[in-house]
Amino acid sequence: MAEKVLFLNPPGAKIYIRDYYCSKVSKAYYLPQPVDLLMQTGFFAQKGYQLKVVDAIAEKLTVKATNAQIKEFQPDLIITLCGSVSFGEDEAFFQQLKNEIPQTKILSSGDLFLEDPEYFLKCHPWLDGIITDFFSDCGLKYLEGSTHFINGLVTRENGKPATSNGKQKWIDIPRPSHELFKNHLYRMPFANQYPMATVLTNYACPYPCTFCIMSTLEFKSREPNQVMEELLFLKENGIRYLYFSDQTFYLHREATEKILDFMIEEELGFSWVCFSRVDVLDEDKMRKMKAAGCNVIMFGVEWAEDEYCQKYKKQYTLAQVKNTFELAKKVGIKRMGTFLIGVPGQSAQSIKNTVNFAIQINADYASFNVAVPRANTSFRSEAIEQGLISPDERVMDQSGSFITMGTGLVSPEEIMSLKKEAYRRFYFRPTYLAKRLLEIENYQELKTHLREGYHILKSLIG
């Protein structure tokens, strides 16, 4: 009998998003597929293993119900997720699970593990290995008993973390097994049709933003033909909305345009959203994206002062932000700005200026994230050096359901108040609300907006 592999997003008290080495509580109600698990499925599927996905967050499963499904399947290997935001719950769950099925091996991906995986393996016996590169076949090699160092996996016996060499690498990845996931349960705040799926065309990011973990990972891209095969599969299986979870979409022009041209020529009919940068996209690129179905682009704007963009190596200016936002509007693609508040030395006025800038650039959506000292970043080193956090501080949530550190000028309590004020000022302007309602294109989009708006309001008054 073929060995059994379970891909598990463990249960939690909140809507935890733990994947891609960035854990947080969903700020409203959105929940994409856990991409770490998704990308691992293809390696095992092509070898004929028995596979099962249990996404306890998406399926709203209790600890008891999750355990029941695991025990019924009796996996030989579990590939799972843990998060800085949820590790207290994650650890309790897996300690109990390992006691009940000690023969099952557990490999986990997660943001908190990246800085010192050996420490976590030493302190947590239930953990058999830490995945530091879910874009590789490290889990498969582990199951098949590789006795050599496995790049992208750290175990007590062997393995080593993946690191970046600063160069792009083209790789072959088998088609992820989307059919194992309950796609109707995933959702994004910009989706105008369902069901949806997540697609990843490249991994990590070559840009050196110091508050982000991605530049420390090995930057890799999939061959366009493999992505096209995946898109065709999704179309044939009824998927209508895509979330391209690349850190920066359109990094490689030739490869991206091959994919976009395929989407246009084959009339795949997807609507989709992606992340990109204001210094990567121009009008011609966005027009092609629009023709291929893109309805929203998310840009990391971060601050209203060029000095912060330079300090934290964002490497573009506010003038570029304004120009690209204007071009996207001209093309007809909605624009979301993500903003980072609470960095060391930031004043309350600077945070208010950030909100003013979000309104000034006429963003269609805004996400105000709270700066957190993420594992294995120079930003974390800065926060420790300034005494804003202790070196053993590991629990954090960049969505800001709780605040890990102050700025030195603004306390954690004041940051929480300013974050709530930011959302009130941006989303509850009468002119903004009127604009959003007038631009709704269909009933599904109306439902999504009402649902997300309700959860944003709930978080502000809670």
Nearest to 458 by CA among 430, 412, 420, 422: 420
Report the pLDDT averaged over residues 248-268.
97
Evaluate if pTM is beyond 0.85. Answer: yes
Same-domain pairing of 229 and 360: yes
Domain containing 21: what range? 4-160
pLDDT of residue 252: 93
Same-domain pairing of 225 and 93: no
Question: Any idea what the CATH number is for the domain that residue 43 is in?
Answer: 3.40.50.280
Task: Give the span between the Cα atoms of 176 and 398, in whole angstroms.
Answer: 28
Report the pLDDT averaged over residues 320-346.
96
Domain limit, last residue, from 118, 133, 160:
160
Same-domain pairing of 253 and 366: yes
Q: What are phi and psi of 231, to 5 degrees?
A: -65, -40
Does residue 104 have a pLDDT over 60?
yes
Same-domain pairing of 195 and 338: yes
Nearest to 196 by CA among 295, 288, 262, 285: 295
Same-domain pairing of 202 and 80: no
Domain limit, last residue, from 126, 160, 194:
160
Same-domain pairing of 150 and 239: no
Q: Are 400 and 369 in contact (CB under 8 A)?
A: yes
pLDDT bucket at 392, cuts 50 / 70 / 90:
confident
Same-domain pairing of 378 and 434: yes
Task: Give the span between the Cα atoms of 437 and 439, in whole angstroms.
Answer: 5
Same-domain pairing of 154 and 180: no
Same-domain pairing of 81 and 210: no
Alpha helices by DSSP H, 5-79: 35-45, 63-73
Same-domain pairing of 192 and 146: no
Same-domain pairing of 218 and 114: no
Q: What is the pLDDT of residues 189-205, one digit of tens each?
A: 889 999 999 999 999 99
Residues in the chain: 462
Same-domain pairing of 123 and 39: yes
What share of the chain has pLDDT > 90, as a percent? Answer: 76
Q: Terminal CA-to-CA distance of the chain, rounded, Å?
A: 51
Report long-range pairs for 382-390 (Cβ below 8 Å, ≥24 apart): 382/210, 382/344, 383/344, 386/344, 388/344
Does residue 167 have a pLDDT over 70?
no
Please report how many Cα atoms fall inside a 13 Å half-sphere around the Cα of residue 78, on the Cβ side. Answer: 29
Q: What is the pLDDT of residues 8-34, one digit of tens each?
A: 999 999 999 999 999 999 988 899 999
pLDDT of residue 453: 75
pLDDT of residue 458: 66
Q: What is the pLDDT of residues 230-240, one digit of tens each?
A: 999 999 999 99
Q: What is the pLDDT of residues 399-413, one digit of tens each?
A: 778 888 999 999 999
Buried b (16+ CB within 10 A) or exposed e, 170-197: eeebbbbbbebbebebbbbbbbbbbbbb
Q: Average per-residue pLDDT in the chain?
A: 92
Domain limit, last residue, from 99, 132, 160:
160
Task: Give the span between the Cα atoms of 437 and 52, in whole angstroms.
Answer: 40
Count of structural domains, the chain:
2
